[in-house]
Amino acid sequence: MCIVSITLDILGVGARGDGVAELEGQRYFVPYCLPAETVEAEPLDKRGDGIACELVEVLAPSRHRETPPCAHFGTCGGCALQHWRRDIYTGWKSELISKALAQRGVKAPRFEAPVGCEPGERRRADIVQRREGKRILAGFHERASQSVVDVATCVVARPRINAALAPLRSAMAAILRDGTSADAVVNETDTGLDVLIRPHRRFDLTLPIREALIALAESADFARVSWGDRATAEPVLVRRTPQLILGDVVIEPPPGAFLQATKRAELVMRAGVNAWAGQATHLADLFAGIGALSLGKPGRLSLFEYDKPSVAAVDAAARKLGGNRVTAQLRDLFRRPLSTKELEAFDAVVLDPPRAGAAAQCVELAASKVKRIVYASCDPASFARDVRTLQDGGYRLEKLMPIDQFLWSAHVELIALLTK
């Protein structure tokens, strides 16, 4: 079979981190390319309004191209932009936000470059483990593939997480059968690593598996090791209770809990909530997770979240505090957002939705009298859509701070203040 490659001039970098080119009226997406480069690429499949390609060779490199710090870059699907000079890459992330807001006609304040994070700061990792014959692979998926890249170290992960890779391989040799796989959801808490082993195919937690996990936790000094999916996770060994200290509140997160990717980003977001929510006497935290952005703030706090284990963790912490200063309620805000009437109880709201945003909730907020909304977003497009709704309801977007906690990825997060 003859493979036909084409020569392309890269015009820019798209929202997914791929180079974008046009030739004879057709758009092409080529990974690992930079603006103003000329490349040879092999067209593959249609993707959206263009054709996805495989990079064959960079014929004329950009002066902003750098040597990636990771030997697995280009194979591992975790990072997309290690080859781009840091200041130019950071500016591109700011442009993603500006373009998303402009497309929705959102009036936005000027904002600084993203608050950056450094290599070795990522405190959460989903490590894929697979047995292939006698080999145990532990690492991450290849780009656009279910194949596993076996890694000895990850340049963005915390040292404790990298130190766990070898013990995980050893333990999986006693657990996984040929062709089977499991995720290790690894969170670095304030008391050590909290590890959830999540098999891809259901099989029982037998005595040999339990013994292998206990040996793993003891040899690798894990705080806790658990087995199963998030909803039904069974702690196998708790050597130290996993804890996250949030102001005057100590949370014991459930196995596999969602954490902000870096401690630095979490502290920046918490500072934004503390400063921008003002002297709120009653704050609502919507899509609250385990309350990482709001717990510890003075005044009354009501958290709303659809994940049962997270609500249970916040509720347990609230009971230890005593009184009714902090409450947690299980609620699906996509299907049942807080109504305008319910919002009358709050003088400030924190929003931290998933990538889909909070369209239904923002319709209610737009019609409310809530004075301040602090919106933490992980997707500029859904954020822009929601802010357009809020601005149409009389809110002003006063402050915006981008945060680059997913280093060398195409993702950018932000925290913003809206007032009425």
Is 188 part of any domain? yes
Q: Are residues 112 and 35 in the same domain?
A: no
Q: Are residues 290 and 349 in the same domain?
A: yes
* Residue range 305-328: mean pLDDT, rounded: 92
The pLDDT assigned to 50 comes to 95
Q: Are residues 211 and 182 in the same domain?
A: yes
Query: 86 pLDDT exceeds 60?
Result: yes
Q: Are residues 106 and 240 in the same domain?
A: no
Please answer whether residues 49 and 38 qualify as being in contact, where contact means their C-beta atoms are separated by less than 8 angstroms.
no
Q: Are residues 268 and 370 in the same domain?
A: yes
Three-state secondary structure call for residue 211:
helix
* From 33, 70, 79, 378, active-site residue: 378
Nearest to 115 by CA among 404, 400, 376: 404
Nearest to 111 by CA among 132, 127, 96: 96
* Residue range 32-40: mean pLDDT, rounded: 97
Please answer whether residues 306 and 290 qualify as being in contact, where contact means their C-beta atoms are separated by less than 8 angstroms.
no
Please answer whether residues 294 and 288 qualify as being in contact, where contact means their C-beta atoms are separated by less than 8 angstroms.
yes
The pLDDT assigned to 234 comes to 95
Q: Are residues 287 and 176 in the same domain?
A: no
Q: Are residues 151 and 207 in the same domain?
A: yes
Give 278's pLDDT tier (boundaries 50, 70, 90).
confident
The per-residue pLDDT for range 335-393, each reduced to its tens digit, is 999 999 999 999 999 999 999 999 999 999 999 999 999 999 999 999 999 999 999 99
The pLDDT assigned to 82 comes to 97
Catalytic annotation present for 2: no
The pLDDT assigned to 419 comes to 97
Q: Are residues 238 and 280 in the same domain?
A: no
Q: Quote the domain boundaries for residue 302.
A: 90-118+259-419
Task: Give φ, ψ of 10 to 5 degrees.
Answer: -80, 120
Which tokens in the block code for residue 108? 């936005």
Please answer whether residues 165 and 153 qualify as being in contact, where contact means their C-beta atoms are separated by less than 8 angstroms.
yes
Q: Are residues 102 and 239 in the same domain?
A: no
Based on the structure, what is the number of domains in the chain? 3
| Token pair 């000094």: residue | 221
- The CATH number covering residue 162 comes to 2.40.50.1070
Is 237 part of any domain? yes
The pLDDT assigned to 129 comes to 96
The span from the first CA to the last CA of the chain, in angstroms, equals: 63
Please answer whether residues 181 and 131 qualify as being in contact, where contact means their C-beta atoms are separated by less than 8 angstroms.
yes
Please answer whether residues 357 and 333 qualify as being in contact, where contact means their C-beta atoms are separated by less than 8 angstroms.
no
Three-state secondary structure call for residue 159:
helix
Is 82 part of any domain? no
Q: Are residues 264 and 135 in the same domain?
A: no
- The CATH number covering residue 330 comes to 3.40.50.150
The pTM score is 0.94
* Residue range 55-69: mean pLDDT, rounded: 97
Q: Are residues 144 and 47 in the same domain?
A: no
- Measure the CA–CA gap between 166 and 148, rounded to whole angstroms: 16
Q: Are residues 298 and 347 in the same domain?
A: yes
